[in-house]
Amino acid sequence: MKELAAERNMTIHQVIQKGGLNQATISELMSGRTKHPKVSTIQKFCNGLDITINTFFDSNKFQ
């Protein structure tokens, strides 16, 4: 998540604000406390980055 934000010259805070996400939700995801995020959460993160969900999952992390 940090890498995708950095690639777009954004901070995580900027992405979650733009995507309409809750800070606590992202903190839990990034810390590993939440292992299975909702698709709606991933979609909001993608919206904050101005990318499609397909682009998100095309990341090398998922290969």
Tell me how far apart the alpha carbons of residues 17 and 25 are, in angstroms, rounded to a whole number: 12
pLDDT of 53 reads 93
Tell me how far apart the alpha carbons of residues 15 and 7 are, in angstroms, rounded to a whole number: 12
CATH 3.30.565.10 for the 2-62 domain, yes or no: no
pLDDT of 60 reads 78
Under 8 Å between Cβ of 26 and 60: no
pLDDT means over runs of 10, the chain (63 residues):
90 94 90 90 95 89 75
pLDDT of 13 reads 93
Locate the domains of the chain by residue range.
Answer: 2-62
- How far is the CA of 9 from the CAs of 2, 33, 37, in angstroms? 10, 26, 24
